Structure 1
């Protein structure tokens, strides 16, 4: 059985839109795309009168090297959100198919499914934040097409071991696509699930430059999967998903100097994460600091709502995650600079003495 047998028949049969840039390349006089012949008279405007490459070769090749894959197994998208949407539309028939998630987890899996009128089946994480593979697999039905596992998980920060992912992949063969979201992988120091793709044609991995590479504003995400899955999704992706300035920013961040700076920033963040985990655990009003392998800490408070308001009044914005299952007393605090983290600690100390 091919992984494409899991996809919607109408998507497999779809004749994709063929853009002017896809139909012809090369040449010096470009009169095929109804673009302006002149660049805009703005700073940095050179080249912006031309449509960008649908899948920029230089960026695809660089990301393939970064993630230990090959260009034919990569799709560059507008953040991971677009990849999630593409997977949902390609594999889930409206009103018939569905996905399995393990809340509390990233909310866009369920949002994309509900937009598509796909069922959302939940297999909640255990009380300690760990993923129970038996519970996850028990939630899979004949209509399940996508099973999402986020590792490190957002918003809890816990890891799912590679061996557990392999066990899930084994059980899902011929049944559903396993989508492993590794948005925070650079902070974990653990092997990537991309190593499973050689053995399993139904495993896909999401990566992003938004977190460890400091490019959230550029919206550059990557889906890594077998070439046939990438080919399927290229049928339905927008003709020109990545603006040229975003491609340039990504290539600069992934340059030799950009990688040196990135390693320094990640090392600095890991040190701050360790410091904050200890300091927060000792802070007044804190019940517990959840172990995290990401660039944030989920923290349980005696009064999460009151703490959120005090931080906001002091100009510090954290994420209220009390609506997530099992996290009714928690806030998610992104690891900032040393000074920013100190401000958080100072507000917590001041709140205790108020």
Structure 2
């Protein structure tokens, strides 16, 4: 059985839109896309009068090298969010199929499913944040087409073991696609689930340049999967997903100098994460700090609402995650610069009496 047998029949049969840029192979006088023949008179406007490549080859090659994969296994998307949406639309029939998630976890899995009118099945994490494979597999139904696993998990920061992911991939073969979200992988040092793709055609891995690569504003992500899955999603992705300036920004970040700077920033974040993890437990009102393999710390407070208000009053915005199951007393704090983290610690050190 091929993983494509799990996809919607109408998507498998769909003839993709053939964009003007895809038809421009070898052309030098481009008169097929109804573009302006002159660039706009703005700084950096050269080339913006032309539509970008649908899947820029230089960026695809750079991401394939970064993620230890082949170019035919890479789909460049607008952040991870677009890849999530494409997967749901390709594999889930409205009103019939379902996705499986393990809350507390990233909210876009459920949002994209509900937009598609796919059911959302929940198999919650253990109170410790651990994912029990047998519990998750017991929740799989015949209508389940996608199983989302986030590692390190947002918002708890915990890792899902590589052996657990391999077990899930085996057990879900022929039943559902295992979608492993590795948005925070660079902060963990853990092996990537991309290594499972050779043996399991039902594994798809989400990656992004938004976090460790400092490109959240450029919206550059990637899906790593078997070529047949990439080909399926290319049938439904918009013709020109990435603006040219965003492609240029990504290539700059992935250059030799960009990688040198990224390594420095990554080490800075890891050092600050360790410092914050050590400092926070001793502060007034802090109940617990969850161990994290990501670029944030989720902190339990005696009075999360009051703490949130005090931080806001000091100009510090953190994420209120009290709506997530099992995190009703928690705030998620992104690891910032040393100065930013010092400001957070100072407000918390002042306590409820501030």
The interval holding the TM-score normalised by the smaller chain is over 0.9
Asked if 1:118 is matched to 2:118, the reply is yes
Aligned to 1:220: 220
CA deviation after TM superposition for structure 1 residue 352, in Å:
4.2
What TM-score, normalized to structure 2?
A: 0.99
CA deviation after TM superposition for structure 1 residue 24, in Å:
2.4
Task: Give matches, 1:177-188, under 5 Å.
Answer: 177-188=177-188
Asked if 1:149 is matched to 2:160, the reply is no
Gaps of 5+ in 2: none
Secondary structure, counterpart of 1:218 in structure 2: coil
CA distance in structure 1 between the partners assigned to 2:23 and 2:29 by the alignment: 15
**2:213 and 2:262 in contact (8 A); partners too:** yes
Aligned to 1:317: 317
**1:310 and 1:347 in contact (8 A); partners too:** yes
CA deviation after TM superposition for structure 1 residue 349, in Å:
1.3
CA distance in structure 1 between the partners assigned to 2:235 and 2:330 by the alignment: 41
Task: Give matches, 1:137-286, under 5 Å.
Answer: 137-286=137-286
CA distance in structure 2 between the partners assigned to 1:35 and 1:296 by the alignment: 44
After superposition, the CA RMSD in angstroms is 0.6
Asked if 1:127 is matched to 2:127, the reply is yes
Aligned to 1:108: 108
CA deviation after TM superposition for structure 1 residue 89, in Å:
0.2
CA deviation after TM superposition for structure 1 residue 23, in Å:
1.7
Structure 1 residue ranges (4+ consecutive) displaced by more than 6 angstroms after TM superposition: none
Gaps of 5+ in 1: none
CA distance in structure 2 between the partners assigned to 1:24 and 1:48 by the alignment: 16
CA distance in structure 2 between the partners assigned to 1:319 and 1:353 by the alignment: 22
Secondary structure, counterpart of 1:22 in structure 2: coil
**CA offsets 1:257-286 (integer angstroms, 9 cap, x no match):** 000000000001000000000111111100
What TM-score, normalized to structure 1?
A: 0.99
**CA offsets 1:187-209 (integer angstroms, 9 cap, x no match):** 00010000000000000000000
CA deviation after TM superposition for structure 1 residue 353, in Å:
4.3
CA deviation after TM superposition for structure 1 residue 36, in Å:
0.1
CA distance in structure 2 between the partners assigned to 1:62 and 1:97 by the alignment: 35
**1:310 and 1:351 in contact (8 A); partners too:** no
**1:152 and 1:188 in contact (8 A); partners too:** yes
